[in-house]
Structure 1
Amino acid sequence: MPFLKYFPNKNVNSYIQFLKKGIRLMEKDTKRRIPLWGKICIGIILIILLIGCGGYAAFNYYYNQMNIESDEMVVDRQEEVFDVDENPGNLKEMDPESIQLDSASKAEKDSSVINILVCGEEAINDNRGRTDSIMIVTINQKDDRLSITSIMRDTYVKIPGFSDNKINAAYHNGGMKTLVATVKENFGIEVDGYVLVNFDSFQKIIDAIGGIDITLSEEEVRYLNSTNYISNRANHNLTVGKNHMNGNQALGYARVRYVNKDGNVGDFARTLRHRTVMAAIYDKMMKKSTLELVAMIPKILPMLTTNIKKPDIVSYLTAGVQVRDKNPKLRTLNVPVEGCYKITRVGRMSVVLASPLDENVKQMHKFIYGSALKDKKQDSSSAHITVGQ
């Protein structure tokens, strides 16, 4: 390579140090913080300059630090497991055979809307666990909107190739490929890729970005400081109001379901906390300098599992930055939506039935695709899912 002589060690770290030095020089004399779009432009320019001397090698190096899964990868099937709730309360038990879950005949997909399935895995004994959080992160380039759709883990769904179960069992049964197929089958959403992180990695990511700020109620503080949701007892020091949480504290907060949050209880409260944490991460990242963002790359990428290809990562990041620059507001939605669900028991497990499911799908599609749906001829059967009893 023609410029390799400028890097005495001739390795990836030399290129990254050069990139960081260039960013530092460009930021040094800037009187105000460079906006996010400016940071990205700076990074792109420097990477272009480095292409001839290893910049592409650096990009390849850090991309390959992630756990990359191909769509053709064969995933081992695991034995199906069904929850057994010891304290179901007064919930009426229903026969699984009495519930008929239909499928979407067609999945929505639009080139102007990017959907990434983001999940948090609760792994046990190094075996494939269940997904404690299931979210669709959307970059809607047509409407200039960033959004997060949370799917409650207790939602009772059809799992392709397996028995009907809670949606969090889909990953356990057949990996991310099965969960992606489950989202498509039940909700008519065809995602463009996925990102998976386990609990340990989640904590490390929060620590890598310097923690996040979360406001807590008195009830939340009392619960978190007195239970093992925060595994490290040294972190049982939360107070009412705004708290700067480390990774261990943030994970404990995100997993709480038995404490009310903004009028929500149970899994509704937990998924709301998931979205609160994601919004806090988003706010924290937006406040980082270019140098800080670059420095975090080698810390965070090795903790992620994804099937997103290299060209698509660049494309999705660019689209996200462009949308965020026009409209930084982060919108959120919980599925099942308000007023369209039933809490019941199927067999011996408590579940949430998205009922009527066709109304959930309609609202979900409207939230995610927005005006992109108006450009297509609407076919009610393409998004019609019913729950029969």
Structure 2
Amino acid sequence: MWKKIILSLLIIISGAAGFFVAKAQVTFNNTLNHVNRDYDTALKNVDLSGIEVNSDDDIVNILVVGNDYRKEKGYDASGLTDTMIIATMDMKHGMLKLTTLMRDMIVDIPGHDPNKLNSPNSFGGIPLLYKTIAQNFNIELDGYVEVGFDAFEKIVNSVGGVEAELTESEANYLNTTNYISKKKYRHVKVGKQKLNGNQALGYCRIRKGGTYTITGLTDDYGRTWRQRAIITAVFDRVKTLPATKWIDIANKVLDGYVTTDLSNEKILEYITDVVKMGTTKVNQLQVPINGYYRASARGEYSCGSSIVMTDGVSSTRNSSANAEALNKFIFDYDGKKAFQYGKFTNK
């Protein structure tokens, strides 16, 4: 559920950096000091011996984790990761890229039976999640950012809400369930409208079969599409705000709701690189990719209904094609035309 959040945070922070870094670095560092640091879970300390991973000095990959951690549910700090994203700063091609790793796909988890990708964090925290991603997709990551539910509501409210277009099935579902947690906001309608943070959070969490997006997607495919739609909406809102507003927003959003293993210096370095690239376009990919997955059979896995990666020919579980596609997107794709793997084009 979390893809939307981090692009928004990166946009706000990078905008703040571009505006303030020359004149008010102290202010910027004070803003970053609101972020929680957990260097014990630094990705650089994770043992990846025996796992082949790819990297490039001109390409930075940050793991963005949306943790389904809500105090009212009594969750521990390490829960199921509702969304996992690889945010890529590709200085080689001057591009920003976001890859959504679908939470319900079956992966091999070191030391555990195959399970959904959202489960390693509950077994062994961020380090095991990273090791699982490395083993299944051969990607080296340069750091992580973990965000909680409250941060999402805050960022949407901080930019004055976002516009979304709802279908009849989505509106009915949101108005008759607790996905919009505050009952007073359960009055969304069919069509385009502005959603506040609580409404947008509920919208991005929908993954009910039979509830369709305006593009006709349902289940987890629809949910990740909604996340991308909200990312774009937040991005568009941020771009309309004066730069002087960005630091204030960042201070509100970052305070206590974001955890990372990146230092202020490293964040500033990355943000400066983004600003130098001079692009606001974000290229996106969803894994598993079209044509290289299937739905699990009834009773095939103990974790229930899930997504099984395949090589596009056989139905046997195989992550190699998706790993190859992900690496091509991150390290080779130059954005000159729509990304294509095999006979399928990403749109």
Q: Quick check: TM above 0.5?
A: yes
Question: Quick check: 1:150–1:271 contact (8 Å CA) kept in 2?
Answer: yes
Q: Where do 1:230-309 residues align within 5 Å?
A: 230-258=180-208, 259-261=211-213, 262-302=215-255, 303-309=257-263
1:310 aligns with 2:270: no
Q: Deviations over 1:309-349 (max 9, x none)?
A: 121100111122233x2x43222111110010121131351
User: Could you tell me whether the CA contact under 8 Å between 1:104 and 1:186 is conserved in 2?
Assistant: no
Give the drift of 1:73. 7.0
Which segment is superposed worse, 340-349 or 307-316?
340-349
Rounded to whole Å, the distance in 2 between the matches of 1:360 and 1:172 is 24
Which amino acid counterpart does residue 347 of structure 1 have in structure 2? Answer: S
Q: Distance in 1 between matches of 2:130 and 2:303?
A: 26
- 1:65-111 CA-partner distances (Å, limit 9, x unpaired): 2110104679xxxxxxxxxxxxxxxxxxxxxxxxxxxx994211111
Q: Is the aligned partner of 1:369 residue 2:318?
A: no
TM-score by length of 1: 0.71
* Residue type at the aligned position of 1:369: F
Alpha-carbon offset, residue 62 of structure 1: 3.2
Aligned to 1:352: 307
- Structure 1: how far apart are the matches of 2:138 and 2:322? 11
1:110 aligns with 2:87: no
Aligned pair partner of 1:47 in 21, 24, 27: 24
The one-letter code sitting in structure 1 at the alignment partner of 2:94 is D
Gaps of 5+ in 2: 1-12, 44-48, 312-318, 335-347
Cα distance in 2 between the residues matched to 1:270 and 1:170: 21
- Kept in 2: contact 1:272–1:334 (CA 8 A): no
Is the alpha carbon distance of 1:191 and 1:234 closer, same or farther for their aligned partners in structure 2, counting shifts above 3 Å?
A: same
Q: In structure 1, how many angstroms separate the alpha carbons of the residues matched to 2:18 and 2:148? A: 32
Q: 1:212 aligns with which of 138, 147, 162?
A: 162
Superposed displacement of residue 37, structure 1: 9.0
Give aligned pairs, total.
299
Residue matched to 2:5: none
Decide whether aligned partners of structure 1 residues 37 and 334 sit closer, same or farther in structure 2, where only a CA change above 3 A counts.
closer
Q: What secondary structure is seen at the aligned counterpart in 1 of 2:113? A: coil
- Rg bigger for which structure? 1
1:64 matched to 2:66? The reply is: no
Structure 1: runs of 5+ lacking an equivalent: 1-35, 49-54, 75-102, 373-389
SS in 1 for 2:22: helix
Could you say if the C-alpha distance between residues 39 and 234 of structure 1 is closer, same or farther in structure 2, counting changes exceeding 3 Å? closer
Change (3 A) 1:315 1:37: closer
* Structure 1 segment 146-161 matched on structure 2, within 5 A: 146-161=96-111
Whether the 8 Å contact between 2:41 and 2:261 is mirrored in structure 1 is no
Structure-2-length-normalised TM-score: 0.79
- CA shift, 1:265, in A, is 2.0
Q: Hey, what's the Cα distance between the residues in 2 that align with 1:41 and 1:273?
A: 29
Which whole-Å CA distance do the structure 2 matches of 1:37 and 1:158 have between them? 35
**How many angstroms apart in 1 are the aligned matches of 2:162 and 2:224?**
18
Identical aligned pairs, as a percentage?
Answer: 34
Match of 2:291 among 333, 336, 339: 339
